[in-house]
Amino acid sequence: MNEGLYVEEKRSREGRETCSQREPTTGLVPSNPTDGGDPTQQDTIESNRVHSLQGRGASEQGRRRRGIGIASGRPPMDMDPPTNNPSPPGPPDSPPPEKRLASLSLRTSHLPPDFEIHDDYDDDDDEGYLTAVSRVGSISTSASASAWKDDLEDADVAPPSPSSSGYAAERGTSLASSAAANDDPQPQPDDDDWPRDKKHLHEDDTSASWRKRKKHFFILSNSGKPIYSRYGDEHKLAGFSATLQAIISFVENSGDHIKFVRAAKHQIVFLVKGPIYLVCISCTEESYEGLRGQLELMYGQMLLILTKSVNRCFEKNPKFDMAPLLGGTDAVFLSLIHAFSWNPATFLHAYTCLPLAQSTRQAASAVLQDIADSGVLFALLMCEHKVISLVGAQKATLHPDDIFLLSNFILSSESFRTSESFSPICLPRYNSMAFLYAYENTYLTLLTARSDAFYDLKDSRSRIQNVLLKANVLVEVQRSLRESALRIEDLPADPSSQSVSPPPQFSQDLHFQLLSSEMAIGGPAGLWHFIYKSIYLDQYVSSEFPLIISNPKQQKRLYKAYQKLYASMHDKATGPHKTQFRRDEDYVLFCWITQDFELYAAFNPLADKSQAIKVCNRVCQWIRDLENEIFVYGESTLSW
């Protein structure tokens, strides 16, 4: 019997950690890296193996029927700071110490002729991200919900949590846990304050606007029933889903498995996971590997809400309709799809940490390690999408993808962002057949195998909060959010170079003009941006975008260039490669991979190759000098 897990969380934002004791090393880049480009691919239908898949989230009534609940309530923030060692005052405009923890909460060619590309529909990857929040409402009882309940009972689901569903809290119902009963009532939004559904719900496959979208995602069952669509109403797309299912079945009936289809500028990527089919239709020039990886993450997000036990429903009833079980999770999938356009974790399979002084991070880890009596398997303290500290039980590790999917689920769920919750989840890379329970408050996440641990986790949260306030960890976290970003202009100067002052006959204005001209081409040698991944730590760090690429569309274009470079470097047919230097009209891209790290850097398109290589060496040395502040080192274990 698979055990469930439980999660507790305090809001800061995303992250995740699977650490190793080995430190990354840096070396010198070879002076003559080979130029390379993406390997060409044929316009054809290729084949691939299929992996078994799983389903997705249950409704409130479904959860109650099978004995699973979500505790929801406003975080208790009314405790006083210790009198014997009060926290020093923060900045003049900072909140009082007892409110600092709360202040870290989120603020939060054979397609139809009219299936064309249009500049007015440029990706739309930002649509629906947090602004189009879809609340997770209850689903009416149906035969499919009963079948789901029966299958989960067969899978030995843990007993119910001690308080009410957090999904009800998203509907504006004030159902707080008993521990939060003394708190002031949390104002709930009216039904009309924020949209519950995704955008473009009126569209279907006959709509001209729907056909002009550059990137579609579909999830359907092996019987052709639609489960999820990025754009439009799933029920209106039943015919289109049946067509996709027919294509997959036709190839499988011939004894093969379909991977992708290319038609002009469009690429249709298929991912078959048992009774669940995932399809992406894209004309964004992303690689097949990149799009397939995005489908894998969408499948993983489904597993986080459900487990693979949903397959049993399809075994009993091939026409089982899983769409109602995903009702209300549009915001989660929209947030995930948006992350495909800005978060390197989606293709690097690594997580990033919030830069902090080593002593501050050690203080945070120490308090997380001292909660073993609560039966916690993992404890994560995060801020936004960055990890502050992560500890786990011995011989237990969290995959970076699990941390990313967990943080996406929490940050895009209204109940988690506004209340204290106890929620069943599943980490697919840890155990895809078991539920975890998540106790979230101010983005502190505790995972436990005990179904009755809600109140123990609540007590642990209170102790952790006291220590974090007393040790000024939260003050340092807020300071890091404002000041600790890596900037290209902070890259240490080359010690071998000598600074040259302007000749005396140069006027002050001319000197400023020269400086402005230098800034216009980027940092040293025209460096614009970089991403550094530590292979052994499964962590990455990236620089801030400079002013020259401050536009969101420019940033998205650079991000996709990184994706293509990553796919080219790791191509199984022609690679893997160690170095690649690529120049086009937009950038000079340089990638360097060793056994310890991967470096991706973008330069001005006129950058010199030899100078770019020297700058990359300086970046690696700079990261090494800062590694104690920007990485979480050593695999911390809980004190059992």
> Each residue of 383-440: pLDDT tens digit?
888 999 888 776 678 899 999 999 998 888 777 776 777 778 888 888 877 666 766 5
Provide the token pair at 149.
């309940």
Please give the Cα distance from 76 to 215 (Å, whole number): 43
By CB atoms closer than 10 A (0-12, 13-18, 19+), residue 32 is: exposed
Q: Are 408 and 14 in contact (CB under 8 A)?
A: yes
The answer to the question of residue 450 being in a domain is: no
Residues 6+ apart with CB under 8 A from 287: 38, 563, 564, 567, 568
The answer to the question of residue 105 being in a domain is: no
Cis peptide before 576 (omega within 30 of 0): yes
29-38, 161-170, 295-304, 366-375: which has the minimum mean pLDDT?
A: 161-170
pLDDT averaged over the chain?
Answer: 70
Query: For the packed helices 288-305 and 400-411, what is the interaxial angle rounded to 10 degrees?
Result: 60
The answer to the question of residue 372 being in a domain is: no
Dihedral sign for Cα atoms in the order 586, 590, 591, 596: negative
pLDDT of residue 366: 86
pLDDT of residue 269: 97
The answer to the question of residue 518 being in a domain is: yes
Distances (CA, A) of 50 to 222, 226, 238, 273, 466: 13, 20, 24, 6, 49
137 vs 298, residue with greater confidence: 298
With a cut of 70, say whether residue 520 has pLDDT above it: no
With a cut of 50, say whether residue 583 has pLDDT above it: yes
* Helix (H), strand (E) at residue 590: strand 588-593
The answer to the question of residue 532 being in a domain is: yes
534 vs 5, residue with greater confidence: 534
Please give the Cα distance from 400 to 349 (Å, whole number): 6
> 523 falls in which pLDDT band (50, 70, 90)?
low
Query: Can you tell me the mean pLDDT for 320-331?
Result: 77
CATH number of the structural domain spanning residue 206: 3.30.450.70
End position of a domain, from candidates 348, 375, 401:
348
Q: Are 313 and 148 in contact (CB under 8 A)?
A: yes
Instruction: Give me the percent of the chain exceeding a pLDDT of 90.
Output: 29
End position of a domain, from candidates 320, 348, 376:
348
pLDDT of residue 5: 42
Query: For the packed helices 358-369 and 473-483, what is the interaxial angle rounded to 10 degrees?
Result: 140
281 pairs with which residues across the strands?
216, 268
> 464 falls in which pLDDT band (50, 70, 90)?
confident
CATH number of the structural domain spanning residue 496: 3.40.1840.10
The H-assigned helical ranges of 224-352 are 238-253, 288-305, 310-316, 330-339, 345-348
Q: Residues 237, 238, 243, CA angle at the centre, nearest 5°? A: 95
Our count of domains for the chain comes to 2
Please give the Cα distance from 157 to 435 (Å, whole number): 7
With a cut of 80, say whether residue 550 has pLDDT above it: yes
Beta-strand pair 260-263/5-10: unpaired
The answer to the question of residue 228 being in a domain is: yes
pLDDT of residue 298: 95
CA 73 to chain CA mean position, Å:
25
Backbone angles phi, psi at 556, to 5 degrees: -65, -40
pLDDT of residue 22: 40
> Each residue of 97-140: pLDDT tens digit?
444 433 333 333 344 444 444 444 444 444 433 333 233 333 33
End-to-end CA distance of the chain: 23
Please give the Cα distance from 401 to 349 (Å, whole number): 6
pLDDT of residue 395: 67
Q: Are 277 and 245 in contact (CB under 8 A)?
A: yes
pLDDT of residue 272: 94
Backbone angles phi, psi at 74, to 5 degrees: -70, 135
Please give the Cα distance from 266 to 285 (Å, whole number): 8
End position of a domain, from candidates 313, 348, 383:
348
Query: Can you tell me the mean pLDDT for 335-356?
Result: 93
> 194 falls in which pLDDT band (50, 70, 90)?
very low
Residue 590 CB coordination number (10 Å) = 26
Q: Are 322 and 144 in contact (CB under 8 A)?
A: yes
With a cut of 80, say whether residue 561 has pLDDT above it: yes
User: What's this model's pTM, rounded to 2 decimal places?
Assistant: 0.68
Rg of the chain over Cα atoms, rounded to whole angstroms, equals 25
The answer to the question of residue 588 being in a domain is: yes
> Containing domain of residue 549, as a range?
488-630
The answer to the question of residue 122 being in a domain is: yes
Please give the full DSSP string across 27-40, using - where no structure is assigned: -PPPSSPPB--PPP
Please give the Cα distance from 275 to 272 (Å, whole number): 8
Backbone angles phi, psi at 282, to 5 degrees: -140, 145
